[in-house]
Structure 1
Amino acid sequence: MKGPTNQLNIPISMLSVKEVLKSRVLSDDYEIENNDAFFVADLGEIYRQHLRWKTHLPRVEPFYAVKCNGDPMLLRLLAALGTGFDCASKSEIQAVLDMGVDPSKIIYANPCKQGSFIRFAAERDVKMMTFDNIDELYKIKRLFPNAQLLIRILTDDSKALIRLGAKYGASLDDTGFLLQSARELDLNVIGVSFHVGSCCYDENSYIDAIRRAKFVFNQAAELGFNFHLLDIGGGFSFSSKSDGFTFERVAAVLGPAIDETFPSNIRVIAEPGRYYAAPAFTIATHVIGKRTVCRDIEEDYVPDMNIDQVNALPTRDDNPAFMYYINDGLYGSFNCILYDHQIVTPKVLMKGGSFLFGETLDEPEYSCFVWGPTCDSIDCITKNGNLPELFLGDWLYFEDMGAYTISAATKFNGFKRTKVIYTTTDPSVFDFLCVSL
């Protein structure tokens, strides 16, 4: 069922993700326009993630990292829930301000900023921003001398899938010099910022970063600064699987470490991105093409495969292997494979007219490649998959696709960006969404 629309005039249903998917894919004609790939965004999942955060890290204020996914409904829901926002550019700041967010709820958390963007932030009274080098201090002094600064420090990000320390973060050997320089420039440094790397998989990385931050707090106190803000960055897992690296596992050690190290008068914020966005988005893609491949063929017949990969394919006497082509790919929503090092898992949504969301098929599975729709051979989503044999008109779906997907999608080869359909699986927030957004 469709619910009332909001300020953006976008409908929000109260259906489950499964029901939304089913309503969209049950069509016998795989050539019609309605069979474009599409996202289903469950706004109820975003709300549940927010409650989960407040339960396990109640002291830490989330400032959502807009770069992760700038979907307007996601941003408006988070704004209505009272989160802050981590912005990296003029456009991101403007998007958040346009929603009526107070400038004090924004941190310009890019340590190296374009001069005109700093001036823009000053004009909009977005005061909080980060730095990690002396040239940035001179730039800020010239363009926004009343800014409220956080010194971003280098941490051990060796236990993260995406390491950021090579680009950003002042080492503890340099923080004293930078703070002394800020004092001489009469700049207002109010705290410390750090980031343990994206997709961090060791809770001890946060503990080590807390210790480093405390060291810099002490340095600042000796120089006469009155630090009152700690920004613990991002990197948080969204997983709730008991056999995985969960948010609860991090919070169980991070929360006490903060309380033991910093008194209650120190404000603590964080910059979660994928934590909120990833689990809320599911993408459905249409099988638009298919090829059958076998091992005993010429190597150059199979693009992007070396001889070992070809030899790994079944022979003509064994089960076949297949190539499937779907209508979204690496240049679109699956750019997360290239830019975010994600491993995506295709699942069968519809096969032969049967809707199969969440089901395990009692059928043989075959080796397969899943390709995107563009003419570039780099556009491969899965190179070592195993799926039941599919046919033109069938559908695949991929879960946990909200992080660093939509935000970096392109229109390469003229393919349009994938549409988002909104629902909420939490009835308690439906009226709130429609009234508040």
Structure 2
Amino acid sequence: MLHTPIDNVRADTPEDWLARHGGETAVLLHCPGALAARHARFRRGFPGAVTYAVKANPDAALIAALVQGGMTAFDVASPAEMALVRGISPQAVLHYHNPVRSRAEIAAGIAAGVASWSVDDMGELDKLVACGVAPDTEIAVRLKLPVAGAAYDFGAKFGAEPDLAQALLARAAAGGFRVSMTFHVGTQCADPDAWTAYMQACAQAARKAGVRLSRLNVGGGFPSGRDGAEPALEPIFAAIAGGVSAFDEAPALVCEPGRALVADAMAYAVRIKARRGAALYLSDGIYGGLSECPSIGMPRVDLVTEGARATAAPRPFALWGPTCDSLDRLPGETLLPGCAGEGDWLLFRSAGAYLVGVTTCFNGYGTYERGEVARLWTDPSRPLG
């Protein structure tokens, strides 16, 4: 276990919780209302089925809350994630969209009743056939394009170029499978045009292959509010709704958000252990709950001192993690109130994705506690999540 049991203390805001808490251990603060609001926003605005990418946060209580809110399908990337979801929602629909699998993993997926498998390589399609994936199962061909707009590109690892995607579609259809397509625009993408470009390319590939897509899975990549502002999801939803006009026959739409569903429902509080001039030494760093910062940049960070948000004039600080590794430094310099010092808290927003399940205990650090708050923002006019 990398975290202590969920704390029974509940509070109105993170500042209230931290004022009661004390101690030095980092705290992951969860706002159930923010999670429910973001889930409802997707279900209300996305023009198709909304599923959840479990890899973003494999916390059982969070998954159970999504199920209670109406989530019925999940993107799973391993047999362990299949078992996790099945233990919470035995009837859930499973999409196994990690496109590289061992034969043992394929067997586990068949046993778990996986409904959709992605492919981006002929050898992987052949492997599914050889392992006994039944005809009439959905095969979703994963496309990749050189589309900009994301914090980093997922196409470097997965996805088929358009010509290969076309060939995979034709072969899957000839094998009796229900053919679909899927893609991932990349992490934290705020540009609706990225989805439009992918949808047009999918329509073209299907047309050239002579197949009708039963579904189009537009993946994840939707932005979260790492800067503290509400992400602009509705323009993306509108672009996706309009994108089906590129198809001769419009496929049913599916999305698989992870970060955008859960990140803004949590904040991560990390204590300052020491100040040395313009450098702050923290109780957690890149080997723990802040592991994403070097790859996609810093989220909004607030200083909480004596249970209140500090408002002193800002200055840039270097932020160092607690381990003895000199790589354990958050990127760049972070503007914080100049009064920051030992015993204060740094509150990292949009912390609900890629912290649970990713945190290590290198050098004996990485432990965190859990708490629940009614609001993640002190401004009552600001919407949840």
TM-score by length of 2: 0.87
Q: 2:67 and 2:248 mapped to 1: Cα distance?
A: 27
Distance in structure 1 (CA, Å) of the matches to 2:176 and 2:370? 44
CA distance in 2, matches of 1:149, 1:330: 37
Report the AA paired with residue 216 of structure 2. Answer: L
The one-letter amino acid of 1:331's match is Y
Whether 1:131 aligns to 2:83 is: no
Aligned equivalents of 1:117, 1:242: Cα separation in 2: 39
**Pick aligned residue for 1:335 from 272, 291, 307:** 291
Could you tell me how far apart the structure 1 residues matched to 2:70 and 2:255 are? 14
Q: Secondary structure at the match of 2:221?
A: coil
Aligned residue for 1:400?
350
Q: Distance in 2 between matches of 1:16 and 1:392?
A: 22
Residue 30 of structure 1 corresponds to which residue in structure 2?
Answer: none
Q: CA 1:9–1:380 in structure 2 vs 1: closer, same or farther (change >3 Å)?
A: closer
User: Structure 1 residues 97 and 124 mapped into 2: Cα distance closer, same or farther (>3 Å)?
Assistant: same
Distance 1:19 1:259, change over 3 A: farther
Instruction: Deviation per CA, 1:53-76: give whole Å up to 9, x if none.
Output: 12222x221211111111222111
> Which residue of 356, 368, 374 maps to 2:308?
356
Pair 1:248 & 2:234 matched: yes
Deviation at 1:87, TM superposition (A): 1.0
Q: In structure 2, what is the equivalent of residue 420 of structure 1?
A: 370
Preserved CA contact (<8 Å) 1:141 1:187: no
Q: Distance in 2 between matches of 1:180 and 1:253?
A: 27
Tell me, in whole angstroms, the C-alpha distance in 2 between the residues paired with 1:240 and 1:335. Answer: 14
Is this contact kept in 1: 2:224–2:260, CA < 8 A?
Answer: yes
1:61 aligns to 2:58 (yes or no): no
- CA positional deviation for 1:161: 1.4
Whether the 8 Å CA contact 2:287–2:366 is kept in 1: the answer is: no
CA distance in 1 between partners of 2:285 and 2:274 (Å): 13
Preserved contact between residue 270 and residue 282 of structure 2 (Cα < 8 Å): yes
Residue-by-residue CA offset, 1:66-102 (whole Å, 9 max, x unaligned): 1111122211111222222111111111111111242
Question: Where does structure 1 lack aligned partners over 5 or more consecutive residues?
Answer: 1-7, 26-33, 293-321, 427-437
Query: What's 1:384 paired with?
Result: 333
Matched residue type, 2:192: E
Deviations 1:230-286 (A, max 9, x none): 10011112349898861122123222323674756x321111111111111111111
The answer on 1:326 being equivalent to 2:277 is: no
- 1:97 maps to which residue? 86
Match of residue 321 from structure 2: 372
Alignment partner of 1:20 is 2:17: yes
- CA deviation after TM superposition for structure 1 residue 396, in Å: 1.8
The percent identity for this pair of structures is: 24
Paired residue type of 1:163: D
Go from structure 1 to structure 2 and tell me whether the alpha carbon gap of 1:94 and 1:182 turns closer, same or farther (over 3 Å shift): same
Contact 1:156 1:208 in 2 (8 A): no
Matched residue SS, 1:162: coil
Query: In structure 1, what is the Cα distance between the partners aligned to 2:375 and 2:274?
Result: 33
Does the residue aligned with 2:263 lie in a helix, a strand or coil? helix
After TM superposition, list the pairs within 5 Å mapping 1:32-431 onto structure 2: 34-57=23-46, 59-83=47-71, 84-103=73-92, 105-146=93-134, 147-184=137-174, 186-220=175-209, 222=210, 227-239=213-225, 246-258=232-244, 261=247, 266-292=251-277, 322-338=278-294, 340-350=295-305, 354-357=306-309, 361=311, 363-381=312-330, 383-387=332-336, 388-425=338-375
C-alpha distance in 2 between matches for 1:14 and 1:245: 25
Q: Using the alignment, how far apart are the partners of 1:55 and 1:233 within structure 2?
A: 17
Distance apart, 1:332 and its partner CA = 0.2
Letter in 1 for 2:308: L
Structure 1 pair 197/262, CA: closer, same or farther in 2 (3 Å)?
Answer: farther
CA distance 1:117–1:217, shift in 2 (3 Å) = same
CA displacement at 1:35 relative to structure 2: 2.6
**1:12 to partner: Cα distance:** 8.1
From the superposition, tell whether residues 423 and 405 of structure 1 become closer, same or farther in structure 2 (CA, over 3 Å): same
Secondary structure of the residue that 2:154 maps to in structure 1? coil
* CA deviation after TM superposition for structure 1 residue 21, in Å: 3.2
Specify every segment of 5 or more residues in structure 2 that has no aligned partner in the other structure, as ranges: 377-385
Aligned residues of 2:142 and 2:165 also touching (Cα < 8 A): no
Distance 2:6 2:267 in 1: 22
Q: How many angstroms apart in 2 are the aligned matches of 1:196 and 1:291? A: 41
Q: CA deviation at 1:348?
A: 1.2
Tell whether the 8 Å contact from 1:153 to 1:192 is kept in structure 2 after alignment.
yes
Counterpart Cα distance in 1 of 2:116 and 2:124:
14
Q: Which amino acid aligns with 1:191?
A: S
Q: Return 16-25 or 68-77, whichever deviates more.
A: 16-25
Q: Which moved more, 1:239-248 or 1:62-71?
A: 239-248
State the Cα deviation string for residues 329-370 of structure 1 (Å, max 9, x = none): 0000000113x41213432111xxx3223x5x2x34444211
Quick one: distance in 2 between partners of 1:101 and 1:261? 35
